[in-house]
Amino acid sequence: MSYYCIPFFLAVNISFDFSKPSAKKFLIIDKAISTENKSDSDGTYEVTKHELKVVSKEKMNSPAFWKDLSTAEYTDIYPNIPGKEFITIQNKKYEILGRKNKVIRSENGLQYSRSYYLKEYVKPMAIDVDRKIYNKFGKGNDLDIETHSGLFGIEWTYYHWKM
């Protein structure tokens, strides 16, 4: 009897949930699969984790800007991801999208000025998902996650994607 009651209870929980879901919008930056060895009283086994690395759409829309900098204003320029350079200014990390060097002649000689085209760097967040959802989504897709509270308080999550 309970075999039929639990799926019916969950179906009613989802079907008659008219509460407003909490929605979050993300952009998928990367996908990753990792395996871990776990052990318990039954022995050792492998667990496969499927992760989507995402960035919040709200944080991604920060505008890029040009900034003139002297070497005293920033702490370091460093490559962190192959093909990308980052700079730290006042404990904030920025991605360098472009740069200009200017030479200014003055009475004291030549002075150099550097301008950088910067965008604030947003660290991607990793979301663990099951294999079925992992295979649906691709790099560069938009991901909308809706979390519903459920009629009986049992939360459920719905994943939308756009290509």
Q: Is the pLDDT of residue 161 over 70?
A: no
Looking at residue 121, its amino acid is: Y
Section 14-29 average pLDDT? 78
| pLDDT tens profile 73-99 | 665 665 555 567 887 777 788 888 888
The pLDDT score that the predictor gives to residue 133 is: 83
The pLDDT score that the predictor gives to residue 79 is: 54
Taking the CA atoms of 87, 91, 92 and 93 in sequence, report the sign of the dihedral they define. positive
Could you tell me which residues are beta bridge partners of residue 57? none
The pLDDT score that the predictor gives to residue 162 is: 66
Section 30-59 average pLDDT? 84
The pLDDT score that the predictor gives to residue 71 is: 57
The pLDDT score that the predictor gives to residue 46 is: 84
> How do 43-56 and 156-162 pair as beta strands?
unpaired
Section 56-64 average pLDDT? 78
Please give the structure tokens belonging to residue 161. 């994607």
pTM higher than 0.85: no
Could you tell me which residues are beta bridge partners of residue 144? 25, 160
The pLDDT score that the predictor gives to residue 1 is: 65
Q: Is the pLDDT of residue 58 over 70?
A: yes
Q: Is the pLDDT of residue 131 over 80?
A: yes
Q: To the nearest whole number, what is the mean pLDDT of the chain? A: 78
